[in-house]
Amino acid sequence: MGLLKILTLFLLLCAGVKSAHSLSWLPCMFSDFIMVVNNEGTRDVQLQQRPSILQFGQQGDSPVNPHAITFLVIPSKVNLHSFMPDTDVDDLDCAIHRHNTEGVHVKWPSQKSNEYNSWFSISLTHTQGLFTVSGILRYPCEPPSSGQEDVRNWPAIEDRQTLITSVAVILKTLTPTVTSGLGFQKTLHCQFAVDHKTPNLTALWYQQNHGERRTLFSHASRSGQTEGRGVELKNIAGGDLSYTLPFTEVKHAGMYVCSASVFPLSNSLDISLQIKESPQVSLNVGPMLTLQEGEEKKLVCEAAKYYPLDAHIAWYEEDPASSGQRVGAPLPKALDNILLSSHKNNMDRTYSLSGFFYLKASLRQSGRQFTCTVSHTSLRMPIKKSFILIVEEPTSWIFTLTVCSVIVMLLSALFFMLRYLHRASKHSLQKKPY
């Protein structure tokens, strides 16, 4: 696609054409089906891609590039420019292909009585994901000689041909990709327009996830029949088909499709909803851990209730005094004796994981800082939880025995002194004459 844009820009600059940044035209890739005769002499259908130009103007305008196929979009009741926010032409990817109505031909409300229509689908995608536009172009032409329009009877498009078209149906979303945590309200934007009033519109939202399709909302304008919820019916008349999820859950992740159909045309847009919930990280010890030399402790770092699945836990050891140095500070040492639990599936479909190791305290480790680092796709920076290890020398058994003996002797002396004082007080009371 980049090479196509470069070649087209070169041709137009050589011809002294107006700057493409006015969005008076766009380079596109046209995907067409052509008939070929194979080695066995039978006709076969092959997909062919050719560079083309999507040009905006009036009937009778000259093509900006006479060497390419030109789809000249003339004004209709649907203004394609109004569906494209101000953007640079280099930030747009344009694709055009035949739109198959499965051989169905009906009189389109905005066409002349003697016109026959061929249809082309157009897709405009912002390279930074700001919006996506999907439309169907109406091309009045001669009917096929066979009387039926299908892939084998489509009229051929010549390499330098100009096709006078107009927009019949169009969809736009400003949210082609939506990322959300759990428990949020999210709106999937979808806007539509049709080139005639009071169309027989069928609006539809459905979700595709793991190969399954689930209908969320449908509305038929002619019958007024509505199923499902999530779309404000009062907004449909103004062209707003936006769908709202009141409370996001893991089950809501997947591809959503906004569809607007006006027989025999059907147009749709894909919107991706990604659920990313950050892990809750905790340690089984406080900020300070005191152990005696030789004592062993299991240290656990838990990452809980995150989504999607992939999470990484690592432990590091470092000297907090040297880590504050600006120059020459040693890097934290990654511990290689880490064990990981299996992923735990929670009731809300989130996951939990723990990484642990067994620490046997030594005096040389006293004052060292141990840090658990948890990485996950929902995090811009890893989450870190740390503690400082304090290692004490083991107490001698002789010292312990001596201290215990002294305590016992003091308690015994106190006991006898209290007993003596009690007896003396009692004897003194007995000698008094009153």
pLDDT tens by residue, 110-141: 777 677 888 999 999 999 999 999 999 999 88
**Full residue range of the structural domain in which residue 361 is found:** 280-392
pLDDT tens by residue, 83-109: 887 788 889 999 999 998 877 788 888
pLDDT tens by residue, 318-358: 988 776 566 666 788 999 999 999 999 999 999 999 999 99
Strands of the sheet containing 265-275, edge to edge, are 177-180, 265-275, 254-262, 201-209, 212-220, 226-228
Q: Comparing 110 with 21, which gets the higher pLDDT?
A: 110
**429 within a domain of the structure (yes/no):** no
Give me the pLDDT at residue 400, please. Answer: 66
Confidence of residue 16 (pLDDT cuts 50, 70, 90): very low
* 17: exposed, middle or buried (Cβ count in 10 Å: 0-12, 13-18, 19+): middle
Q: What is the mean pLDDT of the chain?
A: 86
- Using the predicted structure, report yes or no on whether residue 13 has a pLDDT greater than 60: no
Give me the pLDDT at residue 149, please. Answer: 56
Contacts of 187 (CB under 8 A, 6+ apart): 175, 242, 243, 244, 245
Instruction: Report the candidate in 133, 131, 138, 132 with the shortest Cα–Cα distance to residue 117.
Output: 138
Asked if 310 and 221 sit in the same domain, the reply is no
Tokens standing for 243? 């769908």
- Using the predicted structure, report yes or no on whether residue 62 has a pLDDT greater than 50: yes
Asked if 330 and 213 sit in the same domain, the reply is no
* 328: exposed, middle or buried (Cβ count in 10 Å: 0-12, 13-18, 19+): exposed
pLDDT tens by residue, 286-313: 999 999 999 999 999 999 999 999 899 9
Asked if 205 and 330 sit in the same domain, the reply is no
- Using the predicted structure, report yes or no on whether residue 266 has a pLDDT greater than 60: yes
**430 within a domain of the structure (yes/no):** no
How many domains does the structure of the chain reveal? 3
**400 within a domain of the structure (yes/no):** no
Contacts of 43 (CB under 8 A, 6+ apart): 35, 36, 37, 152
- Tokens 């990604």 appear where? 274
Contacts of 120 (CB under 8 A, 6+ apart): 71, 96, 97, 98, 99, 136, 137, 139, 163, 165
Length of the chain: 434
